[in-house]
């Protein structure tokens, strides 16, 4: 079984297949992690922005995997359940590590180590997908099906939550039901953050209060019992 890492685009089913879309996103993740490693030297806003870019890519990417790609893998692969569960365990760890990173400042003594631990789990996640899961799907599915999954994954990725929500189920139905409320709350917080960056001030006054209220609302939504439905004990928190 050949990794998808060094296959030609044609072999992957063209740019729109799930294989090519995943590989392109993983390459982008590599570049964003490199930028976060460079900016950690000087810290400040540049590093915060770099880490946010990593988080935004990671959470939308993983959310769409959990609602589109992994259910499809479980339908077609005999080993789909344990294999996707292994990847979901990595996703859960990333959620928890990024939630800790969000609370830490670049000047904290453990910040760099925490960032490297997060990036190591992300690298492991990418390797399992490119070397095991996606080549297995390539063996069993035709180009049309791989492109259809690619389009569905892309659509969900564009409307997915952008922040870590470690308490929510990693599997449908809880995972899918969480999409709408958490996407609205996360993206409202992203808008506030972009406003804060554009005006070059820290989240103070009304903006900071609004951010805290939205974060509190997201925390309350996360804990709704219906959003934990479908969760496996291995990824529950
Ligand atoms: Fe991926
Ligand atoms: Fe993943």
pLDDT in tens, 178-237: 888 999 999 999 998 888 877 766 656 778 888 889 999 999 988 899 888 888 988 887
Domain count, the chain: 1
Ligand 1 mean position, distance from CA 224 (Å): 27
Ligand 1 mean position, distance from CA 228 (Å): 23
Evaluate whether residue 2 is within a structural domain.
no
What's the pLDDT at 107?
Answer: 85
End-to-end CA distance of the chain: 34
Distance CA 234, CA 237 (A): 9
C-alpha distances (whole Å) from 32 to each of 41, 77, 142, 177, 227 are 15, 32, 32, 29, 30
Ligand 1 mean position, distance from CA 65 (Å): 7
42: containing domain: 9-235
Cα Rg, the chain, nearest whole Å: 18
What's the pLDDT at 93?
Answer: 97
What's the pLDDT at 39?
Answer: 94
CATH of the domain at 19: 1.20.120
| Sign of the CA dihedral with 66 first, then 70, 71, and 72 last | positive
Burial bucket for residue 82 (CB in 10 Å: 0-12, 13-18, 19+): exposed
Distance CA 61, CA 154 (A): 9
Evaluate whether residue 217 is within a structural domain.
yes
Ligand 1 mean position, distance from CA 216 (Å): 29
Evaluate whether residue 38 is within a structural domain.
yes
Ligand 1 mean position, distance from CA 33 (Å): 15
Q: Could you tell me if 193 and 52 are in contact, meaning their C-beta atoms sit under 8 angstroms apart?
A: yes
What's the pLDDT at 145?
Answer: 98
Instruction: Tell me the ligand closest to 59's alpha carbon.
Output: 2
Q: Could you tell me if 52 and 203 are in contact, meaning their C-beta atoms sit under 8 angstroms apart?
A: no
Evaluate whether residue 3 is within a structural domain.
no
Instruction: Tell me the ligand closest to 88's alpha carbon.
Output: 2
Burial bucket for residue 205 (CB in 10 Å: 0-12, 13-18, 19+): exposed
Instruction: Tell me the ligand closest to 84's alpha carbon.
Output: 2
Evaluate whether residue 4 is within a structural domain.
no
Ligand 2 mean position, distance from CA 66 (Å): 8
Ligand 1 mean position, distance from CA 43 (Å): 28
Q: Residue 175, CB half-sphere, CA atoms under 13 Å: how many?
A: 27
Instruction: Tell me the ligand closest to 18's alpha carbon.
Output: 1
What's the pLDDT at 155?
Answer: 97
Q: Both tokens of residue 74?
A: 């479980």
Evaluate whether residue 15 is within a structural domain.
yes
Evaluate whether residue 196 is within a structural domain.
yes
Evaluate whether residue 32 is within a structural domain.
yes
Q: Which residues of the chain have pLDDT under 70?
A: 200-204
């Amino acid at each position: 079984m050949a990794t998808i890492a060094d296959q030609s685009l044609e072999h992957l089913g063209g740019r729109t297949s799930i294989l090519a879309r995943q590989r392109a996103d993983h390459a982008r993740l590599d570049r964003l992690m490199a930028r976060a490693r460079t900016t950690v030297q000087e810290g400040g806003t540049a590093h915060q922005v770099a880490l946010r870019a990593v988080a935004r890519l990671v959470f939308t990417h993983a959310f769409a995997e959990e609602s589109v790609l992994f259910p499809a893998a479980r339908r077609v692969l005999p080993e789909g359940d344990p294999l996707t569960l292994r990847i979901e365990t990595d996703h859960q760890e990333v959620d928890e590590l990024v939630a800790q990173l969000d609370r830490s400042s670049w000047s904290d003594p453990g910040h760099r180590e925490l960032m490297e631990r997060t990036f190591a789990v992300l690298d492991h996640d990418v390797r399992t997908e490119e070397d095991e899961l996606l080549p297995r799907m390539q063996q069993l599915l035709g180009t049309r099906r791989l492109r259809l999954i690619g389009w569905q994954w892309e659509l969900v990725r564009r409307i997915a939550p952008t922040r870590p929500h470690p308490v929510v189920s990693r599997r449908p139905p809880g995972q899918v039901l969480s999409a709408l409320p958490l996407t609205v709350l996360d993206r409202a917080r992203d808008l506030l953050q972009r406003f804060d960056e554009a005006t070059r001030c820290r989240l103070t006054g009304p903006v900071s209060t609004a951010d805290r209220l939205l974060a509190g609302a997201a925390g309350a939504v996360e804990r709704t019992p219906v959003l934990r439905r479908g969760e496996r004990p291995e990824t529950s928190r």
